[in-house]
Structure 1
Amino acid sequence: MYEVAPLLDDPIHNLKTIRDLYRWAVTEMENANLSYGHGSPTSTEDASFLICRALKLPFERFDMFLDAALTHNELVRLVHLIDRRVHDKTPTAYLLKEAWLTGHRFYIDERALIPRSYIAELLEEDLAPWVADPEAVGSVLDLCTGSGCLAILAKGCFPHAAVTGSDISADALEVAKINRRDYDLDDELELVQGDLYENLQGRKFDVIISNPPYVTTRSMDALPEEYRHEPSLALAAGEDGMDVVERIVSEAADHLTEDGILIVEVGDGLEAVESLFPDLPITWLSVSGGDDQVFLAHAKDLREYFRN
């Protein structure tokens, strides 16, 4: 049985239905100055997602269940979860051990970054027009794979590709293994522990994707509490946020096939990227967050740039 903070005793006695609990949860969240950067953009969506998925209900049909009565045990558990969301500022994805990205469910816990990446949007479109024929892609590398979410999405896009996910964190790779198993990809998705390309010497890929750490030191100091539940190794990237990105880009040519492409997410790091590689031909890709979040570079341009 969960222990519920005294402050939350009243809900146990006064809330009866999902509608009651939902209304109360939204009020609690609104009063708590929470951050909503991990999947649900508002208190209403965060509360509905938490309640639905804790009850194993389909969140796209939330309205159907609003007037359903809650058992005492369900209510106690839900109040406990909401208490942790509000007072500990634990992200809902960690509370539920579940995150969704472009309609795909992934297991997640505090060992890995909560799945979120604009690259997922690009994979929904099979990286068109940059990849002409998805079935012709023979190999894909997901650097800083974390939970393995992008590697798994890439496997769905490129059915004939050998997909590899690489991460420096052994803990994160344990999470990726759970997701690999859940998607029945144990024999098709390779997971490698190493510092970027460290254990991939001599190997080349048609596509390299990466959502690496890119948070600046200053931004790390100002992160909302929710982000402090995530491993700092997956976020922090030095004074300008480019510590990892610089290495990914500068070494990519050695690991790309002749016509390969590199796609990297950098948050608000456009100026830092262009300052770091002033004459490198790169293309900024359009995603829902804007035209300055994700860039693409071609193998031939990377080889020429770093040859000089």
Structure 2
Amino acid sequence: MENQTYQLLDGKKVSSEIKQEIAAEVEKIVAAGGRRPHLGAVLVGHDGGSEAYVGNKVRTCKEVGFESSLIRYEDDVTEEELLKCIKKLNEDPNLDGYIVQLPLPKHINEQKIIESVDPSKDVDGFNPINVGRLSIGLEGYVSATPKGIVELLKRCKIPTRGKHCVILGRSNIVGKPMSMLMMEKGEPGDCTVTVCHSKTQNIEEITKTADILIAAMGRPESVKANMVKRGAVVVDVGTTMVPDATKKSGRRLCGDVKFDEVAPLCSYISPVPGGVGPMTIVSLMINTLDAYKRRMK
């Protein structure tokens, strides 16, 4: 059987287009005498992944013409101190949105912190109020990764209406909001959605029926050719660092999909890196611009 010719869901290219659109809009705002949108980030400790993510967000703010503030704490910061910082950010009239980079140290109640973020500044879309609004189709802030995936599908003109979408993973950050977005009325959306997880039986039988397969389990290269239907659209959300002696750093970023094996079966597939990652960062910028506009009304 000959290979299907696949196209890449190029998040790098699409996010670059969106950044240009945002930058142009910000310049118009400033030219009209408005202030620049302002995104804040709270970073606790020195986790390598978190440092890289936050650094990337600060860099992207600069690219699109936003102001950004980074507030840093050491690992031993108390929960009380962090909650004080959040109260200050909630009350700051010149800050449109902010994120508290997760994970937090074990002695801090993550859920308590998330619930303390003002929903109108919660550009990460983690506060239960924003999650609840999404679940019933109301406007609110949607978690950046699912929002980015929907935008990628939209801009790559992937038809979703009536398709079977299978999501691997049920996390609060990706799996659950993703399932709600793909069920929403409209396009992208109008899918029949199945969510699989670690306790799902006969997972290959289910994934083989997917027109759109979204892998978000955090298990490197666990999606193989025998799990994918010919012509499927595959979105790889995985970002796990794995050892790689050929790289200078001794490791590389690896997705949940065994790309070389799966790609020849697909109509579209997202690469890692360069697929969902850049879309996540740019979605945070879209949310921040939205927050700014709502505050200016």
* TM-score by shorter chain over 0.5: no
TM-score normalized by the length of structure 2: 0.41
Work out which structure has the larger RCO, using CA pairs closer than 8 Å and 6 or more positions apart in sequence: 2
Query: Which structure would you say has the larger Rg?
Result: 1
TM-score normalized by the length of structure 1: 0.39
